Structure 1
């Protein structure tokens, strides 16, 4: 079954006008070529679509059904060029966004809201990953952009600082340190059970804490990769944990957050990262839309 869009347009015009002369005038053509179009269309479809005689034209039952489908096909065909142009320009498409669990606390929601406002036809797919997994996924082309922790290879990736915040100590609300009236110092943690970041899966926080707060590693009783898990362990009285300031937005019960004396007041960084080479036309649009949020 082969027929052209021109044949469909001719059929729709005749079906709506129920007159070959008026349909031909509407299409700015003469009547004989229009009659041949309809004949070829009926031959291709294999059924009679129109009943005609010298006095009138009317649709057969098959013609009524074919008219609805013809209109649908023509609508899609006429919209296709504009759709292709929007996709090519980056105004429509898909952005695959990786994010760390901690980046959901306040930042991810704002990003999604703004992308939806600025690029309403770009769909954002979300993938929760630690930074190392995001790097691998960006390299493989499995995601387009990430919310991750530094450092990044500048030859492969571009990045912009999105947010900087303090490093806090999460403790059970009944812990003796919860009543401390000053920032926590390393001496306060002597003999205190620690819930620590995984050196493999949460390397950024592991290195940050080790560099900021000299600790006795033998007091580490749990090693995990996700902030949420850390806070749950703290709420159960299993130890204390180092978390970003924004973790307090989780609102987990029985957990207090204490300031820590660190050389840098806000050492925790979150970056937007993307590959230097990408064939997704929506990515530059997304980066531009978020530029006001990045430092």
Structure 2
């Protein structure tokens, strides 16, 4: 089978119609160039050039080969570029899982920067709760997850990308809606509380339970949900109140009022909530590292 080197030599001679000029173009001497043409002709079993002491012309076989040889060389060059781009993370496919609240905060920033810095990487987006994201990361069906901190899983690495505080979400008809800010956690004592699912939203579930317990406040849990939008829908319906990340205020549902919280210094850290990016430590998708660099840049230069 002929080689790319032989085709490259053939195209140079075919375009220059002069062995000396073709050798100069390829930055080689004339004897090895002539040798490559001879090997190619032997491989194909036909002459490609009519040679005289004064001129070089393509034979009919050479004329037939020339357009295909150019296409093969172009395809080889393009393939090399494509492979290098995939290897560098500049192209390919990346599957990103995210929580509903991440879609309202960190995800849009990621998508904007990825569109600018990784325009040829196809992003597959999947909305999943944190526990499901962890399962998919372990199985390798998701490349990156935007999730709330959980107990670590072997082989899964995480890095914070965003921190924010909790705020209260209360229905307009509640007496707390008209109370001056900030609200105290004791204001929730005996109030109907819309609570995060203990299985699918364990991070928020445990955080709220510990926060109210530490403040000596005992709201009455009346409903569970796994995602913030569902809890806000219950608040909008006037069923109760809840605590949500402050980024939820960007999408204010009708009938919901957000209130800041007065938190004792001893509990202030408990109202700081974190969003992490997670990935498998053995993920060999080069685009993963590129996105992690984008996240790191976003954290350092918001």
Native 8 Å contact 1:18 1:56 kept in 2: yes
Q: What runs of 5+ residues in structure 2 fail to find an aligned partner?
A: none
Structure 1 Cα separation of the partners of residues 80 and 279 of structure 2 = 35
* Aligned pairs for 1:1-295 within 5 A: 2-27=1-26, 28-30=29-31, 32-40=34-42, 42-43=44-45, 52=50, 54=52, 55-58=55-58, 62-63=64-65, 65-76=67-78, 79=81, 83-84=83-84, 95-114=94-113, 125-153=124-152, 156-182=155-181, 183-188=183-188, 190=190, 192=192, 194-213=193-212, 214-217=217-220, 219-221=221-223, 223-262=224-263, 263-264=267-268, 266-281=271-286, 283-284=288-289, 286-291=291-296
Alpha-carbon offset, residue 169 of structure 1: 2.3
Native 8 Å contact 2:167 2:245 kept in 1: yes
Native 8 Å contact 2:169 2:241 kept in 1: yes
Alpha-carbon offset, residue 142 of structure 1: 2.9
Query: Could you report, residue by residue, the CA deviation over 1:15-57 in whole angstroms, capped at 9, with x for unpaired residues?
Result: 32234453345443336424424424644xxxx8957464552
From the superposition, tell whether residues 278 and 78 of structure 1 become closer, same or farther in structure 2 (CA, over 3 Å): closer
From the superposition, tell whether residues 287 and 293 of structure 1 become closer, same or farther in structure 2 (CA, over 3 Å): same
From the superposition, tell whether residues 216 and 154 of structure 1 become closer, same or farther in structure 2 (CA, over 3 Å): same
Give TM-score, length-normalised by structure 2: 0.74
Quick check: 26-35 or 132-141, which moved more? 26-35
Alpha-carbon offset, residue 131 of structure 1: 1.4
Alpha-carbon offset, residue 229 of structure 1: 2.3
Query: Could you report, residue by residue, the CA deviation over 1:131-190 in whole angstroms, capped at 9, with x for unpaired residues?
Result: 112222222233343322123327644433333322222233344322111305445463
Aligned CA-pair RMSD: 3.6
Alpha-carbon offset, residue 102 of structure 1: 0.8
Query: Could you report, residue by residue, the CA deviation over 1:195-236 in whole angstroms, capped at 9, with x for unpaired residues?
Result: 32222111111111222234454x514x22121222233334
Native 8 Å contact 1:20 1:35 kept in 2: no
> How many residues align structurally?
284
Alpha-carbon offset, residue 125 of structure 1: 4.3
Residue aligned with 1:166, SS: strand
Native 8 Å contact 1:169 1:243 kept in 2: yes
Structure 2 Cα separation of the partners of residues 36 and 26 of structure 1 = 19
Alpha-carbon offset, residue 245 of structure 1: 0.8
Native 8 Å contact 1:184 1:258 kept in 2: no
Give TM-score, length-normalised by structure 1: 0.75
